[in-house]
Structure 1
């Protein structure tokens, strides 16, 4: 049987000509732009959707999904996803090409908190930078399809190179059984999951179905937009956070908050990651639980 179509909704497929004619899918990004209060507008990036249960991986290039801090290099500055500039050492920046890059600043599997702390300190002299890698997976604005851009990226930053900049290795997976096996291997080794990028996709930004993530637990990011007072045992504290995710959905997030976070909740504008299981009848995340806080700029 031929592989099923990629996980791109029919409505998005109908809108593809308009996206291509306008260049970058700005309609998707416009809804999320006001969410983050940053000194500089956030860069436009491609964002991942969850892999659907009936999607064949055959049309995609697959890679490990590195759990680091997203970093966008414009040829001159290294910036957070939220728009702020990353205070990187001059020696580190000197090893980056003039070609714009998109990737993850990464210390290793299971070490997200260490990466976050290093970047939060904002000290270019911090010795932690010596172990940091910039795992890059895209050439922003690059010509050709994703498979062609990936080939150029592998020449620009070899995956097994000695420097901090390394292209993320991409591979093909023929079916869901093999994909599940690869996921189990990555997770067993301490990895987060897999990313699937449509091989023949042009360079576009937004959350449009070209990029999918495959993880044991569904998760996503959101921004804190309000604090809801607690009741009963949480009286005088925070009962829940009112958050808005990257799809513009607003809901309450109460599970997963520590006692310290209830006493001193994350400020408005803070980014966080949450997990969920399924959706409510209104399409909101069901059983949403706080996973961790992210830096405001990331």
Structure 2
């Protein structure tokens, strides 16, 4: 592990005397989607030493604009008053998280119109960025860690950011996280400025990659799937189309995801044209 002097030299930690401007809050309307920086898949040609690395949490994305907590869609999250009262008056981006392999219970809790206090007491707001802040990510992460530590709220935490020297160390870190119940890693270029939308400065690394696609149509099944859905015709984030036909239960095929809904699928690789290979259905994204 690198010491503070080495991190300071690398530009990953701010000197104690540095005075930085306070980040600003940015409000969204009740119906508009909120600005979020979105990750792209990690590529072997990249150099891990250029990035800060954190665990990828299987939670629900939540963005705080200084006064309202929202889903990525812009819809407000009905959180308890005590939960919101401790959030700082600046923009935050993070995940509501209830621990490993707890996504379904978490999703049900945070999407209720009337929050159940006992359910919210079991989760944490794990914050990883400061939207609209104009500093490089390493400086944003350092400021964020100090800011949230000062709140002294155990459920409000900055996601830990560390460095890895090379590809071998990165794979070792991934293996350790997955063995502990995690789903993968997030890598954020230390020198990258914040920007909304899909960014090559923000990467995700998993044993299997996943992605979201929009359902365009249901493809009729054949053989044992006669009379039921055989596959979903999906549109990928970059506009390509393909049929997703594996990973579905009998109940899924009898009552398939609606046209226009967004589903998550896993895949192992991509074809030369960029389509996912060995893709398998994972879940329907809950309405927000």
Query: Scaled by the length of structure 2, what TM-score is found?
Result: 0.85
Answering whether residue 179 of structure 2 is matched by residue 193 of structure 1, we say no
2:269 is paired with a residue whose SS is: coil
Q: Which runs of 5+ in 2 are unaligned?
A: 1-29
State the 1:226 CA deviation. Answer: 2.2
CA contact (8 A) 1:269 1:296 kept: no
Match of 1:53 in 2: 44
Higher relative contact order (CA 8 A, sep 6+): 1
State the 1:273 CA deviation. Answer: 1.5
Q: Please give the root-mean-square deviation of Cα atoms over the aligned residues, in Å.
A: 1.8
- Larger Cα-atom Rg: 2
Change (3 A) 1:184 1:259: same
Change (3 A) 1:234 1:159: farther
Correspondence 1:259-278 to 2 at 5 A: 259-278=250-269
After superposition, give the CA deviation of every residue in 1:79-132 in whole Å (9 maximum; x if it has no partner): 112222211112111121111100011000121122112123333124211111
CA contact (8 A) 1:223 1:243 kept: yes
Using the TM superposition, name which of 129-138 and 42-51 deviates more: 42-51
Match of 1:106 in 2: 97
Determine the C-alpha separation between the residues in 1 that align with 2:121 and 2:63: 19
Answering whether residue 130 of structure 2 is matched by residue 136 of structure 1, we say no
State the 1:268 CA deviation. Answer: 2.8
Determine the C-alpha separation between the residues in 2 that align with 1:191 and 1:211: 19
Answering whether residue 59 of structure 2 is matched by residue 68 of structure 1, we say yes
Correspondence 1:16-35 to 2 at 5 A: none
Match of 1:173 in 2: 164
Change (3 A) 1:145 1:112: same
Match of 2:276 in 1: 285
Picking from 147, 155, 176, the partner of 2:146 is 155
Determine the C-alpha separation between the residues in 1 that align with 2:199 and 2:46: 15
CA contact (8 A) 2:109 2:116 kept: no
| Count of residue pairs brought into register by the alignment | 259
Match of 1:212 in 2: 203
Structure 1 residue ranges (4+ consecutive) displaced by more than 3 angstroms after TM superposition: 159-163
State the 1:159 CA deviation. Answer: 9.7
Match of 1:116 in 2: 107
Match of 1:24 in 2: none
State the 1:60 CA deviation. Answer: 0.5
After superposition, give the CA deviation of every residue in 1:229-256 in whole Å (9 maximum; x if it has no partner): 2222212211111222323332221111
Change (3 A) 1:159 1:104: farther
Match of 2:6 in 1: none
